[in-house]
């Protein structure tokens, strides 16, 4: 069992800079073998946690992207109807029961993410992304699956987990999750990183970014996030901007104020925000960057 500091170090080795609370949550997740629910604004790095965990454990990442209308068959399993139909046509005249036994066998079963996650010999990381976009019915079904890690397929019987996956759920808070789901999971709120940690993230992820430039970028983004924006830039946008600045050979933001303003499109995702963050505002924010 890895300690909190060992987990933070392991995540850092694969490019994810975790704070103390997140490292603690992951440590407890592995100790208690409980799902981990990560909640926070879009773009703060929730999905990246699951990717980093898969890299740390050198295991498969299985992702279920949730959306409105997601049903059990899409998430769990489906039958390959086209192959079944071809098999039925090829076996005309054969005993119907024998044909039925054949077409409802493993050969014709299509694994979807949830079934795949419990059938791996080596525990994968199961990412259930944006669970808040799914409806209440799917959430209730998911609770049952995560409780027993087994599923009943009428034609095949009960399939029990070969191994218990590392389960990470993410939520952007677009819908209130049920108390039942929250009780089943460990919980951590992923916030925007502070300036020092974001600078470390930039240096880790963007080759050629020096400590001074990374800190300037992080401070500038921190200032931008405090403006009244419709879509606050996340870490992914920060990394895009840093990559653009490095690619344009910017080494100090104060030496390239025009480039700084023109490349803010990497951070701003709506026309309203682009209009609000005028040249005067960007110059003011740049002036506040040490």
pLDDT of the residue at 99: 62
Cα–Cα distance measured from residue 17 to residue 11, given in angstroms and rounded to the nearest whole number: 7
Chain centroid, CA 203 distance in Å: 21
Give, in degrees to the nearest 5, the angle at Cα 240 between 235 and 246: 125
Q: What are phi and psi of 239, to 5 degrees?
A: -65, -40
103 is written with which tokens? 């077409």
pLDDT in tens, 4-25: 899 999 999 999 999 999 999 9
Instruction: Map residue 57 onto helix, strand or coil.
Output: coil
Could you tell me which residues are beta bridge partners of residue 167? Answer: 126
pLDDT under 70: residue ranges of the chain: 1, 84, 90-91, 93-103, 105
Architecture of the domain whose range is 4-70+118-189: 3-Layer(aba) Sandwich (3.40)
Instruction: Map residue 115 onto helix, strand or coil.
Output: helix
Q: What are phi and psi of 172, to 5 degrees?
A: -95, 0
pLDDT of the residue at 26: 96
Q: What are phi and psi of 187, to 5 degrees?
A: -125, 140
**Are 141 and 72 in contact, with CB atoms under 8 Å apart?**
yes
Q: What percent of the chain has pLDDT over 70?
A: 94
pTM for the structure as a whole = 0.88
**For residue 146, which of 120, 170, 126, 171 has the smallest C-alpha distance?**
126
pLDDT of the residue at 144: 79
Per the document, the length of the chain is 290
């Amino acid at each position: 069992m890895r300690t909190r500091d060992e987990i933070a170090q392991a995540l850092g080795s694969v490019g994810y800079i975790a704070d103390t609370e997140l490292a603690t949550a992951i440590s407890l997740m592995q100790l208690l073998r409980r799902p981990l629910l990560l909640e926070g604004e879009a773009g703060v790095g929730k999905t990246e946690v699951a990717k980093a965990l898969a890299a740390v454990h050198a295991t498969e990442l299985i992702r279920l992207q949730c959306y409105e209308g997601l049903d059990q068959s899409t998430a769990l399993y489906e039958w390959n109807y086209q192959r079944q139909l071809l098999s039925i046509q090829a076996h005309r005249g054969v005993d119907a029961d024998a044909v039925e036994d054949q077409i409802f066998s493993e050969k014709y079963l299509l694994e979807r993410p949830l079934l795949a996650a419990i059938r791996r010999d080596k525990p994968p990381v199961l990412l259930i992304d944006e669970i808040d976009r799914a409806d209440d019915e799917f959430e209730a079904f998911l609770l049952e699956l995560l409780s027993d890690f087994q599923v009943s397929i009428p034609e095949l019987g009960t399939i029990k987990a070969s191994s218990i996956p590392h389960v990470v759920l993410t939520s952007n808070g677009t819908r209130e999750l049920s108390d039942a789901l929250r009780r089943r999971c460990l919980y951590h709120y992923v916030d925007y990183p502070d300036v020092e940690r974001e600078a470390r993230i930039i240096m880790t992820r963007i080759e050629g970014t020096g400590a001074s430039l990374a800190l300037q970028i992080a401070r500038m983004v921190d200032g931008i996030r405090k403006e009244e924006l419709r879509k606050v830039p996340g870490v992914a946008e920060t990394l895009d901007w840093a990559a653009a600045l490095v690619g344009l050979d910017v080494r100090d933001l104060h030496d390239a104020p025009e480039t700084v303003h023109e490349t803010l499109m990497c951070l701003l995702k709506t026309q309203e925000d682009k209009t609000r963050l005028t040249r005067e505002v960007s110059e003011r924010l740049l002036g506040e960057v040490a």
